[in-house]
Amino acid sequence: MRLTDCHNTEHFRAFAKRRLPSPIFHYIDGAADDEVTYRRNTAAFETCDLVPNVLAGVEHIDMSTTVMGQKLDLPLFMSPTALQRLFHHDGERAVGKAAEKFGTLFGISSLATVSIEEIGATISAPKLFQLYVHKDKELTRNMIDRCKEANFEAMALTVDTIVGGNRERDLYTGFTSPPRLTLKSLLSFAAHPAWAANYFFRAKFELAQLKDYVREGTDFSLSVADYFNTMLDQSMDWKAAEAICRYWGKPFVLKGIMSVGDAERAVDIGAAAIMVSNHGGRQLDGSRSPFDQLAESVDAVGDRIDVICDGGIRRGTHVLKALSLGAKACSGGRFYLYALAAAGQAGVEKALTNMRNEIERDMKLMGCRSIEDLGRHNLRFR
Ligand SMILES: Cc1cc2nc3c(=O)[nH]c(=O)nc-3n(C[C@H](O)[C@H](O)[C@H](O)COP(=O)(O)O)c2cc1C
C-alpha cells in the first residue's frame, strides 16, 4: 500500500492496520463497550443532506475560521491524543509540523510523548494543551506553568474521563502503555519488524510531561483505563474547572461537554469554547453523538462562546454539515492518527490535503465563498 493510494480516512485506516502491531492499532481504532456511540458519531452526519446553491462565482473561496482567538486557515483541527510516538516514532513532532504547514491548530495531550518545551520551541502553529487533572496537584499545576512558559495559545480541560471507559478491544489485546512484553505482544511486534525496530532502537518511549512525577505509563506498564482510574482526580468539579480557567488566564476550553446545562456553565466560568465531544466514543457508550447534540448547544451558547464539533469527522462534507449547524470549527483524532501511523508527517500532510481538497471542492459545489455562507438554510434532516 502506498501513501498516494490513500484518498480518504478509510484508506489510511487500512494502511495503519497493516503497519501497526494489533494492540496498538486497536487502541486507536477501538472505543467503549459495544462501540454504538463510536459508530453513531460518523453515522449521524448521514441523517441530513446538504442543499446547494449554484452560480455563486466560487473561483476564490476562503475556508478560514477563528476559534479560541486564533485564525485558522482550515475549519478543522487536530484534537489532542495520547501516546503518539507509539503510533509513529516522530509522534507529536510530525503532527505539529503538519499543522504548521496547513495553518491549523493542534493539541497535545497530558499523555503526550514529546515535551511541552520542545513543542513550544519548534512548532509555530497555534498550540492547545489538553489537561488531565491529576490527584497530584503539584503535577497538574506544573503542566499549566510549563504551558504558560512555552506560550501555548489555549488550554483544554478534558471533562469526560472522570473514570476510564470500558475499551474491550484493549482488554482483549492486553494493550498497555508502554506495551507490555508478553509472548502475544512479542509475536505481534515480530510480525511488524519496521514498527518494532523504530520502537526499540529510537528514543525511549516516555510520557514527557509526567515522567518526573509518576512512573506509571513510562516505566510501569498499565492500561489507559487504569491510568485514569488511579491517577486522575475524581473529585474534580465546576469550582476546580473555574480555578484552572482563572489560573491559566488565556483561552480556556472544556472538552467533552454534551448537555446544554453544562454548556451554560462553561460560559459562566469564563471558557472561550466548548468541544462538544464524547471522546470519540471511547468513554460512555450510548452517549449522544456530537453532531446530534450540536444544534441545541449552538442555540444555547453559540452567541457567547465558540462551539466545536469534535469526533466522527471522516469527510469534508461532515465538516460542512457541522458548520452549517453553527459550529465554529470541527476537530478529530482518528482522521490524522491513522495517517500518522501509516506514514508519519507525510501521512498527516496527505490526510490534511485530502480534507482541505474535500472542504474546498464541497464549498464550491455548495456555492459558498466563505464559511459564513453556510447555515441551516442549506441543510435538511431526512
Ligand atoms: C488514540 C486516541 C487517543 C486519545 N487520547 C486523548 C487524550 O489523551 N486526551 C483527550 O482529551 N482526548 C483524547 N482522545 C480523544 C480525541 O481528542 C477526540 O476527542 C476523538 O478522537 C474524536 O473522535 P474521532 O477520533 O472520531 O475524531 C483520544 C482519541 C484517540 C483515538
- DSSP secondary structure letters along 218-284: TTB-B-HHHHHHHHB-TT--HHHHHHHHHHH-S-EEEEEE-SHHHHHHHHHTT-SEEEE--GGGTS-
pLDDT band, residue 181 (cuts 50/70/90): confident
pLDDT of residue 72: 98
pLDDT of residue 184: 86
Q: Look at ligand 1, atom 7, and give the residue with the nearest C-alpha.
A: 81
- The residue-averaged pLDDT of 180-184 equals 86
Distance 35 CA to ligand 1 centre (A): 14
User: What is the C-alpha separation between 77 and 295, in angstroms, rounded?
Assistant: 20
Q: H or E element: which one contains 46?
A: none
Distance 279 CA to ligand 1 centre (A): 5
> Radius of gyration over alpha carbons of the chain, in Å?
20
| Closest approach atom of ligand 1 to CA 130 | 11
Q: Look at ligand 1, atom 1, and give the residue with the nearest C-alpha.
A: 28
Please check the confidence at residue 245 and state whether its pLDDT lies above 90: yes
To the nearest whole percent, how much of the chain has pLDDT over 90? 92
Q: Find out whether the beta carbon of 310 lies less than 6 Å from any atom of ligand 1.
A: yes
Residue of 76, 279, 309 to test ligand 1 pocket, by largest number of atoms within 8 Å of CB: 279
Higher-scoring residue by pLDDT: 175, 216: 175
pLDDT band, residue 1 (cuts 50/70/90): confident
Please check the confidence at residue 219 and state whether its pLDDT lies above 90: no
Q: Find out whether the beta carbon of 109 lies less than 6 Å from any atom of ligand 1.
A: yes
C-alpha cell at 285: 457508550
pLDDT of residue 152: 98
pLDDT of residue 217: 78
pLDDT of residue 222: 87
pLDDT of residue 272: 98
Q: Closest by alpha carbon to 331, among 354, 350, 349, 355?
A: 355
| 147 contact partners, CB below 8 Å, separation of at least 6 | 116, 120, 129, 155, 248
Please check the confidence at residue 183 and state whether its pLDDT lies above 90: no
- Residue 273 φ then ψ, to 5°: -160, 160
User: What is the C-alpha separation between 223 and 216, in angstroms, rounded?
Assistant: 10
- The residue-averaged pLDDT of 95-107 equals 98
pLDDT of residue 220: 83
- The residue-averaged pLDDT of 284-308 equals 98
Catalytic residues: 279
Residue of 232, 282, 293, 348 to test ligand 1 pocket, by largest number of atoms within 8 Å of CB: 282
Helices (H), 128-192: 137-149, 168-173, 183-190
pLDDT of residue 244: 98
pLDDT band, residue 134 (cuts 50/70/90): very high
Residue of 28, 40, 79, 227 to test ligand 1 pocket, by largest number of atoms within 8 Å of CB: 79
Q: Look at ligand 1, atom 11, and give the residue with the nearest C-alpha.
A: 158
Q: Find out whether the beta carbon of 290 lies less than 6 Å from any atom of ligand 1.
A: no
Mean pLDDT of all residues belonging to the chain = 96
Q: Find out whether the beta carbon of 37 lies less than 6 Å from any atom of ligand 1.
A: no
User: What is the C-alpha separation between 180 and 177, in angstroms, rounded?
Assistant: 7
pLDDT band, residue 360 (cuts 50/70/90): very high
